[in-house]
Structure 1
Amino acid sequence: MRIVFVLLVSLVVLGSCQQKGDYKKGIHDPILFARTVKKLNNVVLENNFPPMIASRNYVYASIAAYEVVAAGAPRQFESLAGQISHMPAMPKPTDTANIDFPMAAMLAFTKVGNAVTFPEGSLMGYYEELLNMADSLGMPSAIQEGSKAYADTVAAAIMKWSKGDNYAQTRSATRYTVTSEDGRWVPTPPMYAQAVEPHWMEIRTMVLDSASSCKAAMPPAFNISDKNSAFYKAMMEVKQVGDSLTEEQKHIADFWDDNPFKLNVSGHVMFATKKFSPPGHWMNIVGIAAKKSGADFNTTVAAYTKTAIASFDAFISCWEGKYTYNYIRPETVINKYVSPDWRPYIQTPPFPSFPSGHATVSAAVAEAMTSMFGDNLRFTDTSLLEFGIANREITSFRNAAKEAAMSRLYGGIHFRFDNDLGAESGKKIGELIVNRLKMKK
Structure 2
Amino acid sequence: MPKKSLFLSTGGLAVLLLLTFISVPAQGVAGSARDAWGPLYSPAVRNESVLHRVAPPQGENPLERLRYWNEIAINASGLDHTPVASGENRVFGEQLGPGRSSRAMAIVHIAIFDAVNSIAGGYRSYSGLRRMGVDASMDSAIAQAAHDALVSVFPSQRPGFDQLLAADLAQIPAGTRKNNGIDLGRRAAVAILTLRTDDGSQHAEPRINVDYIPISRPGYWRQDPISLVPLALGAHWGEVRPFALESTSQFRIPPPPDMTSPEYAAAYNEVKRIGGDGIVTPTERTAEQTEIGIYWAYDGTPSLCAPPRLYNQIAVQIATQRGSNVTELARLLALVNTAMADAGTSSWESKYFYCTWRPVRGIRESDPGPGRFSWGDGNPATVADPNFKPMGAPASNLSGPNFTPPFPSYPSGHATFGGALFQTLRDFYRTDNIPFTFVSDEFNGVTLDNQGNPRPLMPRTFASLSQAEEENGQSRIYLGIHWSFDKTEGIAQGRQVADYVFTHAFLPIR
Shared fold per TM-score greater than 0.5: yes
Whether the aligned pair in 2 keeps the contact of 1:196 and 1:351 (CA below 8 Å) is: yes
| 159 and 274 in structure 1: CA distance in 2 versus 1, 3 angstrom threshold | same
Which residue in the other structure is 2:152 paired with? 115
For residues 382-421 of structure 1, what are the structure 2 equivalents within 5 Å? 382-384=439-441, 385=444, 386-387=446-447, 388=455, 390-421=458-489
The amino acid across from 1:364 in the alignment is A
Which amino acid is 2:357 matched to?
I
Equivalent position of 1:248 in the other structure: 288
> Which amino acid in structure 1 is aligned with residue 253 of structure 2?
A
Give the SS at the match of 2:213.
coil
Structure 1 residues 335-350: aligned runs within 5 Å: 335-337=364-366, 338-347=384-393, 348-350=404-406
The corresponding residue for 2:72 is: 39
Unaligned runs of 5+ in 1: 15-22, 82-88, 262-272
Residue 120 of structure 2 corresponds to residue 73 of structure 1? yes
CA displacement, residues 204-262 of structure 1 (integer Å, 9 cap, x when unaligned): 11121111112212101234xxxx6432332121011221111211111111112112x
Looking at structure 2, the residues matched to 344 and 10 of structure 1 have their Cα atoms a distance apart, in angstroms, of 40
Is residue 2:202 matched to residue 1:202? no
* Residue number in structure 1 paired with 2:99: 52
Instruction: Determine the C-alpha separation between the residues in 2 that align with 1:251 and 1:130.
Output: 38
Q: Does 1:321 align with 2:360?
A: no
Superposition pairs for residues 114-193 of structure 1, below 5 Å? 114-121=151-158, 122-134=160-172, 139-169=173-203, 175-188=211-224, 189-193=226-230
Which moved further from structure 2: 167-176 or 56-65? 167-176
Check conservation: 1:310, 1:430, Cα contact below 8 A.
yes
Q: Which amino acid aligns with 2:132?
A: P
SS at match of 1:167: coil
Distance 1:391 1:253, change over 3 A: same
Is structure 2 residue 369 aligned with structure 1 residue 330? no
Task: Classify the secondary structure of the residue corresponding to 1:123.
Answer: helix
Q: Does 1:432 align with 2:478?
A: no
Query: Which shows bigger deviation, 396-405 or 284-293?
Result: 396-405
1:175 partner letter: D
Alignment match, 2:19: none
**1:32, CA displacement in angstroms?**
3.1
Against the structure 1 CA distance between its residues 440 and 235, is the aligned structure 2 distance closer, same or farther, given a 3 Å change threshold? same
* Candidates 421, 426, 432, aligned match of 1:370: 426
Query: What SS class does the counterpart of residue 197 from structure 1 fall into?
Result: coil
- Residues 303-362 of structure 1: CA deviation (Å, up to 9, x unaligned): 111000110011111111110111100011222342233222233100000111111111
Q: Deviations over 1:5-60 (max 9, x none)?
A: x89x957x94xxxxxxxx33xx22x2332221111111111212201100011001
1:234 pairs, out of 255, 264, 267, with 267
Calculate the TM-score normalised by the size of structure 2.
0.73
Query: Alignment partner of 1:393: what SS?
Result: strand
**Cross-structure match for 2:380:** none
Kept in 2, the 8 Å contact 1:367–1:434? The answer is: no
CA contact (8 A) 1:376 1:396 kept: yes
Distance in 1 (CA, whole Å) between partners of 2:385 and 2:141 is 57
Structure ranking higher in helix proportion: 1
Shift of 1:92: 4.7
Conservation of the 8 A alpha-carbon contact between 1:356 and 1:414: yes
Letter in 1 for 2:195: W
RMSD: 2.4
**Structure 1 length normalisation: TM-score?**
0.84
Partners of 1:211 and 1:317 within 8 A in 2: yes
**What SS does the aligned partner of 1:181 have?**
coil
Kindly state the Cα deviation for residue 170 of structure 1 after the two structures are TM-superposed. Answer: 6.2
| Pair 1:368–1:129, CA change in 2 (3 A) | same
